[in-house]
Structure 1
Amino acid sequence: MRLAGKRVLITGAAHGIGRATLELFAKEGARLVACDLEEGPLREAAEGVGALAIPMDVADPRSVEEGFGKALEALGGLDGVVHYAGITRDNFHWKMPLEDWEAVLRVNLTGSFLVARAASAAMRERNPGSIVLTASRVYLGNLGQANYAASKAGVVGLTRTLALELGRYGIRVNALAPGFIETRMTAKVPEKVREKAIQATPLGRVGEPIEVAYAALFLVSDESRFITGQVLFVDGGRSIGAAPA
């Protein structure tokens, strides 16, 4: 019960890493609010663990504000916010339509700002807590993902800056940087690309959503109470370089 009594909001909670985190946090005793744009899957995921389901479009300021308002009304405060919601629109930059560039930046980076700002307001006014954003190993650079890499690099800068600004309030801000994880998003990756990613990963396999969820658990729990402004890679070692052939 590492999160016993902690009030936590999770975005992107309907599928993949978000749902794995929702289920793990429930087992660890958290009181939960689950948010996602897909209402049907969201309600199914929330009902399975007794969480409050609140539909949210993280790129819409009003939706974020209203969602956090409902969460605060239901829980009385927030001790943790874990933000996963994001999208991809992959292509080489010379083929990338401007609308795909802007959509990814709007959801992944502006959405992270809006969620973090709402979390900050809730915690500054009531109690300190932990904000966990989601970057990606891809922020180091990756073929065909100029928009995604730029958005996630922005999340890293945002994380570090918010950690500086919110430390005086006792609020910690960290980011997760997953590698190739078995999700709906990576299921769209061509098999040839998938095999290359696995070969380049020192641990030689794809990651599982629960492995990212455990990292989020650590960052929300009191076990990480002296850690802020950090990027925690959950990527099988891929960020340190390609595995030897």
Structure 2
Amino acid sequence: MGRLEGKNVLITGAAHGIGRATLELFAREGARLVACDLDREGLEAASQATGAIPVAMDVADPASVERGFAEALKALGRLDGVVHYAGITRDNFHWKMPLEDWELVLKVNLTGSFLVAKAASEAMRERNPGSIVLTASRVYLGNLGQANYSASKAGVVGLTRTLALELGRYGIRVNALAPGFIETRMTEKVPEKVREKAIAATPLGRTGKPLEVAYAALFLVSDESSFITGQVLFVDGGRTIGAAPA
């Protein structure tokens, strides 16, 4: 019997990378799935490979999020878990960063997390307990050239902790993943010197794989983590050792 047998789960950013790996893992573990993404072609491929229900969703658009969750509830009847990965980067030193890039990253990463978490809460609150997993990043502790991304992910940590306080009475758990350097389409663009520096700063001496983050999400959605809420789980090969998380 799978670890998610009988659970209905919605995953954003499901077409590629960590989201796709999570979708595939959750399917193997018995979950009924709704896959959400803006990339319709990638979403269709991911859904066909896993049996998930594809739902196009722009997490930064309140109407799109509302429609997406309505479709998910219509198809599945209820949601036991929501895993939110969708996010973007627009890197630059802050003095070179256009205001549009600052605002866009905050809108997608932080406001998007709020909109998805709010919709997840509305789907579960007063109906059934569940687990919401948001995505922060080890970068919330600070990183050169990522003022917007770092600020957005620090906001996700604060959001996670606050929602855990507000939703605990309903049996809804809220936690966040904080991946380190994971091999995805987003990190493919990172210059080789930056990659080498990241690996050198990681005690395990390598980059991470999407499936390694997916297994952390599996734990947080499963009943195995039933007394865990308001936490940030680092999946970073030990890179944050010596840096005190807030």
TM bucket by the smaller chain? over 0.9
Secondary structure at the counterpart of residue 238 of structure 1: coil
Deviations 1:4-49 (A, max 9, x none): 0100000000000000000000000000000001001001001111
In 1, Cα distance between equivalents of 2:18 and 2:126: 29
In 2, Cα distance between equivalents of 1:7 and 1:109: 24
Amino acid at match of 1:27: R
Determine if the alignment matches structure 1 residue 210 to structure 2 residue 211: yes
Amino acid at match of 1:20: A
In 1, Cα distance between equivalents of 2:82 and 2:201: 32
- The sequence identity of aligned pairs, in percent, is 85
Question: CA RMSD, aligned part only?
Answer: 0.7
Determine if the alignment matches structure 1 residue 188 to structure 2 residue 194: no
Deviations 1:140-171 (A, max 9, x none): 00000000000000000000000000000000
Deviation (angstroms), 1:192:
0.4
In 1, Cα distance between equivalents of 2:131 and 2:47: 21
Aligned length in residues: 242
Determine if the alignment matches structure 1 residue 174 to structure 2 residue 182: no
Runs of at least 5 residues in structure 1 that lack an aligned partner in the other structure: none
In 2, Cα distance between equivalents of 1:238 and 1:20: 22
Secondary structure at the counterpart of residue 125 of structure 1: coil
Matches within 5 A, 1:76-225: 76-225=77-226
After superposing on structure 2, the runs of 4+ consecutive aligned residues of structure 1 that deviate more than 4 Å are none
Q: Given that residues 9 and 80 in structure 2 are in contact (C-alpha distance below 8 angstroms), is that contact kept between their aligned partners in structure 1?
A: yes
Deviation (angstroms), 1:133:
0.1
Runs of at least 5 residues in structure 2 that lack an aligned partner in the other structure: none
Deviation (angstroms), 1:125:
3.4
In 1, Cα distance between equivalents of 2:221 and 2:192: 35
Deviation (angstroms), 1:241:
3.7
Secondary structure at the counterpart of residue 118 of structure 1: helix
Amino acid at match of 2:211: I
